[in-house]
């Protein structure tokens, strides 16, 4: 007997093409850049802002500490000790994960101020009251204008209008680690693992996976092939025995992998379908 636990499908976002500006050459015959105009203050500010945005987008930001105006720890923000609240900045949008519901809204960064628009969220109910309260605790602090400080490759500190101080630790995104955008792939993971041969790991158990396809309406297309041994790992995915999942992952090419290692890396994006198999 099968019992469906969760069903959520989020279609892949379209990738945006990067643009580059043509270089400007010095006037012919000068032999130097002496005649080139000095950068204006506005241009310098724009360059700094762009660098900060790139740094924000190059990392996941994990909540490390949070204090209110009196210096007291904001306990409500740490309802999930093993999974800290995490911010991701992508193409003008801020996403919040490891809360009860996934949350997100638009953002701008200018002159050291991070401005976040009112955030939308999924509407899933959590049985844990602390998790339900976490959404409100996060949402109320991340909307509006926040003073942002980002030094070197260090931590991101956000100051709210009410005097709260939120400190986030950076963790490189997969795009940063693997040097480019990954390919979006849907994998069905069977409920049971199976023994698989590996010369270095006796009694190894492998996930059983196969690729599945969806159309732009979220409907499955075609007939998936047979399950096969998956010898690697899916970063961020923890398999539970007896639970079949369909996951959306990003697949990256690894430059110069070791001779006995895979040339591909898989990173979990989201679980789109989950079913307990009895």
Q: Encode pLDDT of 124-168 as tens digits.
A: 778 888 988 999 999 999 999 999 998 766 899 999 999 999 999
- Answer whether 26's CB lies under 8 Å from 233's CB: no
Confidence of residue 8 (pLDDT cuts 50, 70, 90): very low
Q: What share of the chain in percent tops pLDDT 90?
A: 52
**Does residue 219 have a pLDDT over 80?**
yes
Q: How far apart are CA 72 and CA 84, in angstroms?
A: 18
**Does residue 4 have a pLDDT over 80?**
no
Q: What share of the chain in percent tops pLDDT 70?
A: 81
Q: Encode pLDDT of 195-208 as tens digits.
A: 997 777 778 899 99
**Does residue 41 have a pLDDT over 80?**
no
**Does residue 45 have a pLDDT over 60?**
no
pLDDT of residue 24: 41
- Answer whether 105's CB lies under 8 Å from 119's CB: yes
pTM score of the predicted model: 0.65
pLDDT of residue 179: 87
Half-sphere exposure of 22 (CA within 13 A, CB side): 2
CATH fold of 43-172 reads: Lipocalin (2.40.128)
pLDDT of residue 109: 92
Domains of the chain: which residue ranges? 43-172, 178-277
pLDDT of residue 153: 61
Confidence of residue 180 (pLDDT cuts 50, 70, 90): confident
Which is nearest to 104 in space by CA: 52, 160, 155, 143?
A: 143
Which is nearest to 263 in space by CA: 239, 231, 224, 228?
A: 231
**Does residue 191 have a pLDDT over 90?**
yes
Q: How far apart are CA 168 and CA 60, in angstroms?
A: 9
pLDDT of residue 131: 87
The DSSP letter of residue 153 is: T
**Does residue 72 have a pLDDT over 50?**
yes
pLDDT of residue 53: 85
Q: Encode pLDDT of 79-112 as tens digits.
A: 988 899 999 999 899 999 999 988 999 999 998 9
Q: Strand locations in the chain, DSSP E?
A: 2-7, 59-67, 86-90, 93-97, 103-110, 113-116, 120-121, 144-150, 156-159, 165-172, 183-189, 194-195, 205-214, 220-221, 228-230, 234-235, 243-253, 264-277
Q: Encode pLDDT of 105-121 as tens digits.
A: 999 999 899 999 999 88
The DSSP letter of residue 151 is: -
């Amino acid at each position: 007997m099968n019992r469906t636990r969760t069903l959520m499908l989020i279609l892949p976002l379209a990738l945006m093409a990067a643009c580059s500006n043509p270089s400007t050459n010095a006037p012919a015959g000068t032999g130097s850049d002496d005649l080139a105009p000095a950068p204006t203050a506005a241009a310098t500010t724009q360059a700094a802002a762009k660098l900060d945005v790139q740094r924000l987008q190059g990392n996941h930001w994990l909540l490390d500490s949070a204090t209110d105006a009196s210096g007291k720890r904001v306990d409500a923000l740490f309802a999930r000790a093993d999974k800290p609240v995490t911010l991701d900045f992508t193409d003008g949008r801020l996403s919040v994960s490891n809360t009860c519901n996934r949350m997100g809204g638009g953002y701008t960064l200018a002159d050291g101020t991070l401005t976040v628009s009112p955030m939308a969220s999924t509407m899933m109910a959590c049985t844990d009251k602390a998790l339900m309260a976490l959404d409100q605790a996060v949402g109320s602090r991340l909307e509006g204008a926040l003073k942002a400080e980002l030094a070197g490759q260090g931590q991101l500190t956000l100051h709210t209008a009410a005097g709260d101080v939120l400190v986030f630790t950076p963790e490189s995104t997969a795009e940063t680690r693997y040097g480019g955008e990954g390919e979006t792939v849907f994998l069905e993971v069977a409920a049971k693992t199976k023994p698989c041969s590996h010369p270095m790991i006796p009694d190894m158990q492998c996930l059983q996976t196969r690729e599945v396809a969806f159309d732009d309406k979220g409907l499955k297309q075609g007939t998936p092939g047979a399950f096969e041994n998956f010898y690697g790992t899916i970063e961020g995915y923890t398999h539970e025995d007896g639970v079949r999942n369909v996951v959306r992952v990003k697949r990256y090419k690894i430059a110069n992998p070791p001779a006995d290692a895979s040339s591909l890396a898989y990173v979990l994006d989201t679980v789109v379908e989950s079913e307990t198999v009895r």
